[in-house]
């Protein structure tokens, strides 16, 4: 029995290849994501251990907020020089340095701020380097106020050499420096991990990075020989007191690696998500392949039964075939995954990390285990139903004509209806309560349900689609062929449905989000000009004053943004320069209290938030900001939330204790009768020293926001294209198997005068009908998913429902093209058949 | 009447010194060994012979379904030998009709659609009058909208006959058309082939190993070991049977 199975497998290598390919792709993503994260994890571990070489302990001020520092670019709290002296005096300390580190963004020669892809852009004070990693390559150390040395990576990226001038944005306003030297790191590296760094003279560093002399962002400690990191940490900690924290170099390296690991985990989840989709779609294809094979082998299987094979043996024979395919596909997928993981890691290191030194690519156990588990399980699971069907073949079928009668569709239809309803309900509950696993499993179950319903719908729909394509005899035959096995057509189409439904759903959500942004901008925000920029972009309050004073500006206000702990709850919020201007320009309505005359430490609260937190006008709230002590604020106004504003906002008094007392956004309204464009022209020059900030009118701002969503959409489309690619394999597979099954028919058609081109057209029509059917299903299901999600996100600000008609049309067109492409190989195969052999094919 | 004149006017298909070899070396089989034969227009010709004697091979070569290793084949004025796929397709479309032993019909099409399929494929118009004549002759009028699975084997084979005739080909080739039928259905199909030659002047070539079937033909050609060994005109079943026995004897010796 086992021998017979293996023989039949070998005899059908093509089938093995096609059905295995879907699993290979899925497994490839699974193992690829594990290999990638493993490689990067080890690379970052070695990066940070080299960053902290020579650092036995580091002393910093205890942050006021948990993780509220806004990333490593910011030095939130600084240490006084006295702490440095204290630490120096601790027993077992060999050397100490006071570090001055802060955000420093160099402006390139084109006037644009130079950016990294995630790694920090920092400035520090040139001085003793305990790690011994830095090497001055050319020039000399900075001594004068206007001198700077650049890290190799920054110098290369910006095309700077010694003698050039470079403008730098720091906590202080823009300033221009002369490049007097360029430094690198041990081993000829330009940066440690893709960061852009530069060093000022110590006095300058204090002034521009920390804003005050004689303070330090951190103190680096080197222990005397024979004193361990832990010991020196504990001694220093005992000496410096409670407001200060001390960590060992090893702890810091681990913390940094872990932080990066968190980010990578997200990346990993995305990859695994797509692996899941790929495998899900792959399951359809394998299921279909095995079903078709069992149908085609009915006679052979019946003969085995007639010769005494048991039902169990029949099942085992099919499942065994699946097992073999699963194992082979897992091995190939695992191998391909290592390649993909290595490739992605290289891409990451090249484009994402500057000169991140990649660790050797390894094969983590997790990758191996998950690849085999997933690959084999999926294949076997997909083969269970066909195996059961094979076991039910009666021995007498060996004597009957091969034509399998249409089995009634009642069972799958009922099951499909139940599953669709269950999936929909799960999705609904999941969306309503924001439970992610419920949403995802709801979608999966709904997909399965719809897939089971497809055979029933396929008949009428295929007839209509086919009707459009059957203007000639080959077309008619193609259409009839696609209607021949409703189940086969349906499952092939359903595989395509999954990808298209997901893309459509995401497109609808994003289009709705854009529509909502536009709606809010058009109906609520009456500011004509919006001043904003990339994440770290900030501008000085003085610039906002200049905007206000510009002729033609009726009113203007701005936001400071930072983390804060309000009544014990940490959140990201805004401090607003002028409540009454804010109210007018954002179309807010007070439901209690007033926006006007709110001075001092006050807060504004949206009505719902107020209700939830039990706040009202006059209530006191405690507020802890990045700097300073905890303060009490008073609720001055409760307002009805709108699409633009929600939550809690602070008055301008809070800004001094923000990590940066600089504005992140500004809004201006032009006076009646003044041209917005003129006002914009007058305002723009005020931001000459803030190249990260742009002044946009409302429509440009909305467009820019929407463009960000377009990027998200593009990424989703690229990743889901994989699901569609696998579905294409499914179409090819189904067609190829059908061609084999219909060999005699093809021979007959050729014998009575059908041309090769007509045979190819016939198969292409069949393929296009299946693909378009799948796309239509996908559009329908995707619309359902999208509308449901938008409905659920109403409270999150997606109030409008928008349909991306052009995109949906494109997906349909793509499906038609996919149909044509998928038909190519099977069509060629069919056209090449030898007429005589085909007719006598058994 | 001289031989050359006869060729010009009354030969529908012709094989000249046709040789067909399968395999090579030890496994080499000479299926046809220099066969020359003229198929007369408007007559019903049967090709007989024991199993493996090359009957099907000869028919396939005559019909352009298979290429020859030596010699030449003509259908009407067309030299079949040397034609490429397009030419062969045209030949099959316009000049020949086929009836196979089994699996003659497309399961997705009705009887009527199957019958006019060669015309539909070639984009040709159906001659309604001729279609009606054919349908009435095969007696399928009330089965036209049925699918092949709803027809008996005999009916299916009559549909195949109608399909072969409806495009009025130069020659209809039938390979053991009654091989899968019971004797009554077989007789119907044979009678029909006979009438299409007699009444409509349709050239028919039929491969069979059944003496009774051969007796419906105007002429019987006997093949043995890839060679034409005998020929009968206006045969009866007994004579055919005798000839076969004689041939078996020859081969046995
Ligand atoms: N495709 C083929 N490959 C090899 N040998 C073949 C092939 N077709 C036929 N033959 C051989 O050629 C000879 C004649 O075959 P065929 O014409 O089918 O005989 P018939 O139809 O008279 O029974 C036989 O010996 C057969 O084995
Ligand atoms: Mg034969």
SS (H, E, C) A609-637: HHHHHCCCCCCEEEEECCCCCCEEEEEEE
Q: If you measure from the C-alpha of residue A756 to the centroid of ligand 1, how many angstroms do you get, rounded to a whole number?
A: 26
Does ligand 1 have an atom closer than 6 angstroms to the CB of B22? yes
pLDDT tens, position by position, A237-291: 888 887 888 889 888 888 888 887 887 777 778 777 877 887 888 888 888 888 8
Question: Which among A656, A618, A631 is positioned nearest to A565, based on CA atoms?
Answer: A631
Which residues lie below 8 Å from residue A656, measured CB to CB, with a gap of 6+? A627, A628
| Largest distance between two CA atoms of chain B | 55
| Phi/psi-derived region of residue A618, left when phi > 0, alpha when psi is between -120 and 50, beta in every other case | left
Does ligand 1 have an atom closer than 6 angstroms to the CB of B57? yes
Mean pLDDT rounded to a whole number for chain A: 85
Residue with CA at minimum distance from ligand 1 atom 16: B54
Q: If you measure from the C-alpha of residue B52 to the centroid of ligand 1, how many angstroms do you get, rounded to a whole number?
A: 6
Residues from chain A contacting residue B107 (CB–CB below 8 Å): 403, 484, 745
pLDDT computed for residue A355 by the predictor: 59
Residues B179, B131: Cα–Cα separation, whole Å: 26
Residues from chain A contacting residue B123 (CB–CB below 8 Å): 472-473
Candidates B60, B67, B80, B92: best to mutate against A (most CBs of A within 10 A) is: B92
- Closest-CA residue of A relative to B120 is A473
For the residues of A774-812, what is the DSSP string, one character each?
HHHHHHHHHHHHHHHHHHHTGGGT-------HHHHHHHH
Question: Which among A193, A134, A197 is positioned nearest to A166, based on CA atoms?
Answer: A197
Q: Which of B98, B122, B149 sits opposite A751 (nearest CB)?
A: B98
Residues A562, A551: Cα–Cα separation, whole Å: 31
Q: Which of A474, A484, A753 sits opposite B89 (nearest CB)?
A: A753
Distance from CA of A19 to the nearest CA of B (A): 27
Which residues lie below 8 Å from residue A324, measured CB to CB, with a gap of 6+? A5, A6, A9
Confidence of residue A16 (pLDDT cuts 50, 70, 90): low
**Is the pLDDT assigned to residue A446 strictly greater than 80?**
yes
Residues B63, B238: Cα–Cα separation, whole Å: 30
List the domain boundaries for chain A: 54-249, 457-526+698-842, 538-689
Distance from CA of A485 to the nearest CA of B (A): 11
State how far Cα A693 lies from the chain centre.
26
SS3 content of chain B, % helix, strand, coil (to 5): 45, 25, 30
**Is the pLDDT assigned to residue B249 strictly greater than 70?**
no
* Helix ranges (DSSP H) in A106-248: 152-158, 202-205, 229-240
Candidates A406, A745, A751, A828: best to mutate against B (most CBs of B within 10 A) is: A751
What's the distance, Cα to Cα, between the start and end of chain B in Å? 39
Most confident of A391-395, A402-406, A712-716: A712-716
Phi, psi of A67 (to 5 degrees): 55, 20
Query: What integer is the mean pLDDT of A732-736?
Result: 87
Computed on alpha carbons and rounded to an integer, the radius of gyration of chain A in Å comes to: 33
Q: Which of A480, A744, A748 sits opposite B108 (nearest CB)?
A: A480
Does ligand 1 have an atom closer than 6 angstroms to the CB of B52? yes
Residues A511, A747: Cα–Cα separation, whole Å: 51
Q: How many CB pairs under 8 A join A and B?
A: 65
Cβ distance B178 to B144 under 8 Å? no
pLDDT computed for residue A505 by the predictor: 92
Query: What integer is the mean pLDDT of A684-711?
Result: 86
Cβ distance A24 to A334 under 8 Å? no
Residue with CA at minimum distance from ligand 1 atom 18: B56
| Whether A748 and B109 lie within 8 Å, measured CB to CB | no
Residues from chain B contacting residue A481 (CB–CB below 8 Å): 108
Query: What integer is the mean pLDDT of A61-74?
Result: 58
Query: What integer is the mean pLDDT of A24-53?
Result: 84
Q: Which of A480, A745, A754 sits opposite B121 (nearest CB)?
A: A754
Cβ distance B203 to B171 under 8 Å? yes
Confidence of residue A6 (pLDDT cuts 50, 70, 90): low
**Is the pLDDT assigned to residue A344 strictly greater than 90?**
no
pLDDT computed for residue A4 by the predictor: 67
Q: If you measure from the C-alpha of residue A726 to the centroid of ligand 1, how many angstroms do you get, rounded to a whole number?
A: 44
**Is the pLDDT assigned to residue A72 strictly greater than 60?**
no
- Closest-CA residue of B relative to A757 is B86
ipTM metric: 0.87
Residues A475, A758: Cα–Cα separation, whole Å: 9
Confidence of residue B3 (pLDDT cuts 50, 70, 90): very low
Q: If you measure from the C-alpha of residue B46 to the centroid of ligand 2, how many angstroms do you get, rounded to a whole number?
A: 13
Confidence of residue A176 (pLDDT cuts 50, 70, 90): very high
Question: Which among A393, A395, A382 is positioned nearest to A319, based on CA atoms?
Answer: A382
Atom of ligand 1 nearest to the CA of B57: 17
Which residues on neighbouring strands pair with residue B173, listed in sequence order? Answer: B98, B205
Query: What integer is the mean pLDDT of B132-160?
Result: 90
**Is the pLDDT assigned to residue A430 strictly greater than 70?**
yes
pLDDT tens, position by position, A625-679: 888 888 999 999 999 988 778 889 999 889 888 888 889 999 999 998 889 999 9
**Is the pLDDT assigned to residue A789 strictly greater than 80?**
yes
pLDDT computed for residue B253 by the predictor: 46
Query: What integer is the mean pLDDT of B216-242?
Result: 90
Confidence of residue A771 (pLDDT cuts 50, 70, 90): very high
Name residues with Cβ closer than 5 Å to ligand 2, which is an ion.
B 56
Question: Which among A238, A237, A261 is positioned nearest to A58, based on CA atoms?
Answer: A237
Does ligand 1 have an atom closer than 6 angstroms to the CB of B60? no
pLDDT computed for residue A636 by the predictor: 92
Candidates B103, B171, B176: best to mutate against A (most CBs of A within 10 A) is: B103
pLDDT computed for residue A374 by the predictor: 85
pLDDT computed for residue A147 by the predictor: 95
pLDDT tens, position by position, A77-111: 788 888 888 888 888 888 888 889 888 999 999 88
**Is the pLDDT assigned to residue A11 strictly greater than 80?**
no
pLDDT tens, position by position, A116-148: 877 788 999 998 777 778 899 999 999 999 999
Candidates A753, A755, A762, A830: best to mutate against B (most CBs of B within 10 A) is: A753
Does ligand 1 have an atom closer than 6 angstroms to the CB of B55? yes
Q: If you measure from the C-alpha of residue A403 to the centroid of ligand 2, how many angstroms do you get, rounded to a whole number?
A: 25
Q: If you measure from the C-alpha of residue A304 to the centroid of ligand 2, how many angstroms do you get, rounded to a whole number?
A: 29
Q: Please state which of the ranges A14-18, A37-41, A569-573, A819-823 shows the lowest mean pLDDT.
A: A14-18
**What is the percent of chain A with per-residue pLDDT over 90, rounded to a whole number?**
27
- Closest-CA residue of A relative to B66 is A836
pLDDT tens, position by position, A499-515: 899 999 999 999 998 88
pLDDT computed for residue A402 by the predictor: 46
**Is the pLDDT assigned to residue A68 strictly greater than 70?**
no
Question: Which among A366, A336, A48, A371 is positioned nearest to A344, based on CA atoms?
Answer: A336
Q: Which of B65, B108, B120 sits opposite A481 (nearest CB)?
A: B108
Does ligand 1 have an atom closer than 6 angstroms to the CB of B208? no
Q: If you measure from the C-alpha of residue B200 to the centroid of ligand 2, how many angstroms do you get, rounded to a whole number?
A: 27
């Amino acid at each position: 029995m086992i021998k017979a199975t293996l023989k039949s497998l070998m005899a059908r290598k093509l089938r093995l290849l096609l059905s295995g390919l879907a699993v290979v792709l899925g497994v490839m993503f699974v193992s690829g994501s594990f290999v990638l994260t493993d490689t990067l994890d080890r690379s970052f571990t070695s990066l940070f251990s080299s960053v902290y070489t020579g650092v036995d302990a580091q002393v910093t001020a205890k942050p006021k907020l948990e993780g509220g520092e806004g990333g490593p670019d910011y030095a939130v709290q600084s240490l006084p020089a006295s702490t440095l002296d204290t630490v120096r005096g601790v027993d077992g300390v060999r050397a100490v340095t006071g570090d001055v580190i802060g955000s420093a963004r160099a402006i390139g020669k084109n006037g644009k701020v130079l950016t990294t892809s995630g790694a920090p852009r920092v400035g520090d004070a040139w001085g003793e380097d305990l790690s011994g990693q830095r090497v001055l390559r050319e020039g000399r150390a900075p001594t004068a106020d206007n001198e700077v040395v650049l890290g190799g990576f920054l110098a290369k990226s910006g095309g700077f050499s010694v003698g050039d001038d470079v403008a730098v944005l720091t906590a202080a306003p823009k300033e221009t420096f002369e490049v007097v030297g360029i430094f690198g790191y041990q081993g000829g590296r330009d940066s440690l991990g893709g960061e852009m760094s530069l060093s000022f003279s110590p006095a300058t560093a204090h002034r521009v990075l920390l804003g005050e002399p004689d303070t330090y962002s951190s103190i680096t400690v080197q222990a005397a020989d024979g004193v361990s990191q832990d010991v020196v940490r504990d001694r220093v900690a005992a000496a410096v007191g409670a407001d200060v924290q001390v960590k060992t170099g090893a702890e810091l390296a681990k913390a940094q690696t872990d932080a990066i690991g968190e980010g990578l985990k997200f990346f990993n989840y995305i990859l695994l998500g797509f692996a899941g989709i790929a495998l899900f779609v792959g399951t359809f294809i394998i299921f279909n392949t095995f079903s078709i094979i069992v149908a085609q082998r009915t006679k052979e299987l019946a003969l085995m039964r007639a010769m005494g094979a048991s039902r169990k043996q029949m099942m085992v024979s099919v499942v065994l075939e699946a097992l073999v395919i699963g194992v082979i596909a897992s091995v190939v997928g695992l191998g391909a995954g290592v390649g993909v993981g290595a490739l992605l890691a290289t891409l990451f290191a090249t484009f994402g990390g500057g000169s991140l030194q990649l660790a050797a690519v390894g094969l983590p156990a997790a990758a191996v285990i998950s690849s085999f588990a997933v690959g084999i399980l999926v294949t076997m699971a997909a083969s269970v139903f066909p195996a059961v069907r094979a076991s039910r073949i009666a021995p007498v079928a060996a004597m009957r004509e091969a034509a399998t009668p249409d089995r009634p569709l009642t069972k799958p239809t009922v099951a499909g209806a139940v599953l669709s309803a269950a999936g929909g309900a799960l999705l609904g509950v999941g969306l309503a309560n924001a439970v992610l696993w419920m949403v995802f499993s709801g979608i999966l179950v709904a997909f399965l349900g719809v897939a089971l319903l497809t055979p029933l719908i396929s008949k009428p729909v295929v007839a209509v689609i086919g009707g459009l394509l059957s203007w000639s005899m080959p077309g008619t035959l193609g259409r009839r062929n696609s209607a021949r096995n409703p189940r086969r057509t349906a499952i092939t189409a359903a595989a395509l449905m999954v990808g298209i439904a997901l893309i459509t759903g995401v497109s609808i959500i994003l289009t709705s989000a854009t529509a909502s942004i536009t709606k809010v901008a058009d109906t609520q925000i009456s500011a004509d000009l919006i001043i904003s920029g990339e994440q770290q972009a900030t501008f000085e309050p003085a610039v906002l004053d200049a905007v206000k004073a510009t002729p033609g500006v009726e009113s203007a206000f701005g936001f400071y943004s930072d983390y804060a702990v309000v009544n014990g709850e940490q959140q990201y919020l805004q401090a607003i320069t002028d409540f009454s201007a804010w109210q007018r320009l954002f179309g807010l309505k007070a439901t209690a209290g007033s926006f006007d005359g709110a001075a001092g430490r006050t807060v504004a609260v949206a009505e719902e938030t107020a209700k939830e937190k039990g706040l009202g006008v006059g209530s006191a709230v405690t507020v802890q900001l990045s700097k300073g002590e905890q303060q009490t604020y008073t609720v001055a106004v409760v307002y009805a939330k709108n699409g633009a504003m929600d939550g809690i906002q602070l008055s301008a008094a809070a800004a001094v204790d923000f990590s940066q007392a600089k504005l992140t956004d500004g809004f201006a309204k032009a006076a009646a009768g003044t041209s917005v464009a003129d006002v914009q022209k007058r305002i723009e020059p005020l931001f000459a020293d803030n190249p990260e900030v742009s002044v946009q009118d409302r429509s440009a701002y909305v467009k820019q926001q929407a463009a960000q969503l377009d990027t998200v959409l593009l990424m989703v489309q690229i990743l889901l294209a994989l699901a569609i690619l696998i579905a294409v394999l499914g179409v090819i597979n189904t067609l190829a198997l059908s061609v084999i099954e219909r060999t005699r028919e093809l021979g007959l058609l050729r014998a009575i005068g059908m041309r090769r081109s007509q045979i190819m057209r016939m198969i292409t029509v069949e393929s296009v009908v299946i693909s378009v059917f799948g796309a239509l299903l996908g559009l329908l299901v995707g619309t359902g998913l999208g509308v449901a999600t938008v409905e659920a996100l109403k409270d999150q600000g997606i109030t409008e429902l928008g349909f991306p008609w052009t995109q949906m049309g494109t997906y349909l067109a793509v499906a038609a093209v996919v149909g044509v492409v998928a038909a190519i190989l099977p069509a060629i195969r069919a056209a090449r058949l030898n007429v005589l052999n085909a007719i006598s094919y058994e | 009447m001289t031989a050359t004149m006869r060729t010009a006017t009354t030969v529908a298909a012709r094989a000249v010194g046709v040789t067909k070899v399968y395999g090579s070396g030890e496994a080499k089989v000479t299926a046809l060994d220099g066969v020359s034969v003229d198929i007369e227009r408007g007559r019903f010709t049967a090709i007989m012979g024991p199993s493996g004697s090359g009957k099907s091979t000869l028919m396939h070569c005559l019909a352009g379904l298979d290429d020859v290793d030596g010699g030449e084949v003509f259908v009407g004025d067309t030299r079949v030998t040397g034609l490429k796929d397009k030419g062969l397709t045209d030949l099959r479309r316009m000049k020949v009709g086929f009836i196979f032993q089994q699996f003659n019909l497309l399961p997705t099409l009705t009887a009527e659609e199957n019958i006019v399929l060669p015309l539909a494929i070639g984009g040709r118009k159906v001659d309604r009058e001729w279609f009606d004549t054919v349908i009435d002759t095969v007696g399928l009028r009330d089965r036209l909208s049925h699918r092949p699975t709803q027809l008996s084997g005999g009916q299916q084979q009559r549909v195949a006959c109608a399909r072969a005739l409806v495009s009025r080909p130069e020659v209809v080739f039938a390979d053991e058309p009654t091989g899968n039928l019971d004797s009554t259905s077989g007789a119907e199909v044979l009678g029909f082939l006979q009438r299409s030659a007699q009444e409509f002047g349709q050239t028919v070539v039929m491969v069979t190993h059944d003496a009774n079937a051969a007796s419906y033909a105007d002429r019987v050609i006997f093949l043995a070991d890839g060679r034409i060994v005998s020929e009968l005109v206006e045969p009866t079943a007994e004579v055919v049977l005798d000839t076969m026995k004689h041939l078996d004897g020859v081969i046995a010796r």
